[in-house]
Amino acid sequence: MAIANDTDKNNSDVGKVSNHGFSLVEVLMVTLIIIVLAAIGIPSLMSMVRGLRTAGDARDLNGTIMQAKMRASSDFARTRLYADLSANTFRIEILPSGSAGWTPDCTGTGSCNQFLSRGVSFGYGSLTSPPTNTQSALAQAPACKDDTGIADIANTACIIFNSRGIPVSPGNSPYPSPTPDDAIYVTDGKSVTGVTVALTGLSRVWRTEATGANWKQQ
């Protein structure tokens, strides 16, 4: 009789699921692992996001520069990339032959300005050396001129193309000098990305860490 009772007891336990949960130690261990993985991964993720932002802005600037160059040739006019270094915006402006002043080149009723990404600004930090075989000295493109062609517009940089798509110096001269030193640089504080324009009008995109000028063409 005793043996039968034990068998019945064992059979009644078959199929039952334990209701025991995780212990406090197990929960703390999993939490600690998650915190460690986050501490390792989040800085790398943020660095990658910043790099994507600066790279995207550089591509936008390069595309706008090329658009300005083509527009100059197609319209037989001077065009320029106008960068507002304080507002972190840029746009294309055009000066048709015989016109009294520069006008933004865009359609619609909205702003013609394009904005840099959040956390990105014009500049090159503490760097002092330009990319190889580009500028004679590291600098943003010259300041934009007002409609008189004489006075500089503060906190601006302009890359100007003549009607043949050649980068030229700012001013109101009917025959401005070609210039090989034009460039626009943006930074997120960790890296610097720049677009340089050669004497032929060829543009190239470069990138380096902000800690040292080790430029790599993109």
pLDDT at residue 140 tops 80: yes
* pLDDT tens digits, one per residue of 160-185: 999 999 999 988 777 789 998 899 99
- Residue 34 is which amino acid? I
- Per the document, the length of the chain is 218
- Strands (DSSP E) found in 58-215: 78-84, 89-95, 103-104, 114-115, 121-122, 156-161, 167-168, 182-187, 191-197, 203-209
DSSP character at residue 76: T
26 is written with which tokens? Answer: 């197990």
Instruction: Check: pTM over 0.85? Answer yes or no.
Output: no
Beta-bridge mates of residue 146 = none
Q: Which residue has the tokens 């929960």?
A: 27
89 is written with which tokens? Answer: 């915006």
pLDDT number for residue 79: 95
- Residue 31 is which amino acid? T
pLDDT number for residue 1: 46
pLDDT number for residue 53: 78
Q: Give percent above pLDDT 70 in the chain.
A: 82
